[in-house]
């Protein structure tokens, strides 16, 4: 039986191990996990940089990987507590980003400052239970190769962004984005698409995301 399934079937043991790894009511792992456990479970490619002021809330339960020559800038937070975080090669995670798995980011991706990408949602439907005590749900987020995500954008759970997409600054992406397009607004809408016939980016009057 896989360890994850075993722990799911034994909540008492799961809670005990959880407390060994993470202080109560916190998301950040204990220092001994960061220093002695994570290096054996998580992959960092050659030439990678994780700046000193990055908050790495990563645990051995879910994968975390950072591809060759990718960089995570200061004041960012990376959290794989509820799902894997996989970042490709030659990608830049800008200053102050928040990335909460399950998230996959492709190769040669530029993510500007203060972007939030989250595969997590909090439950809220039970009005007799505080939202903070309800179960979370997850839905995988993917960002394709060669994308540019503008500053202060938000990419919500379950969305898939195609290859070579530009997400404008401040956009809130709530639905899938087709490849070779530009999206803007809240909720984000397609405002340009690449036309292979004209070999140019053409404005779209009415959105189609």
Active site residues: 122
- How far apart (Å, rounded) are the C-alpha atoms in residues 133 and 59? 22
What does 103-141 look like in DSSP terms, one character per residue? EEE-SS-EE-TT-EEE-EEE----TTS-GGGSPEEE--E
113 contacts 150 by C-beta, under 8 angstroms: no
164 contacts 193 by C-beta, under 8 angstroms: no
184 contacts 191 by C-beta, under 8 angstroms: yes
**Closest listed residue to residue 172, CA positions, set 152, 144, 190:** 152
3-state secondary structure of 157: coil
Give the chain's radius of gyration (CA, Å).
Answer: 19
The contacts found for 196-203 with CB under 8 angstroms, 24 or more apart, are: none
């Amino acid at each position: 039986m896989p360890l994850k399934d075993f722990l799911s079937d034994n909540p008492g043991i799961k809670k005990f191990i959880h407390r060994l790894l993470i202080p109560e009511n916190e998301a950040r792992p204990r220092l001994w996990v960061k220093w002695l456990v994570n290096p054996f479970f998580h992959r960092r490619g050659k030439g990678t940089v994780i700046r000193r002021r990055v908050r790495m809330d990563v645990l051995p339960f879910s994968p975390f990987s950072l591809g060759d020559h990718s960089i995570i800038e200061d004041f960012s937070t990376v959290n794989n507590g509820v799902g894997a975080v996989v970042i490709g090669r030659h990608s830049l995670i800008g200053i102050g980003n928040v990335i909460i798995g399950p998230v996959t980011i492709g190769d040669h991706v530029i993510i500007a400052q203060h972007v939030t990408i989250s595969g997590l949602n909090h439950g809220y439907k039970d009005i007799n239970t505080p939202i903070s005590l309800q179960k979370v749900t997850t839905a995988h987020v993917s960002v394709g190769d060669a994308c540019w995500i503008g500053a202060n954008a938000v990419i919500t759970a379950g969305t898939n962004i195609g290859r070579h997409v530009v997400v404008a600054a401040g956009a809130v992406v709530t639905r899938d984005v087709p490849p070779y397009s530009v999206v803007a607004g809240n909720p984000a809408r397609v405002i340009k698409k690449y036309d292979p016939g004209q070999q140019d980016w053409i404005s779209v009057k009415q959105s189609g995301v």
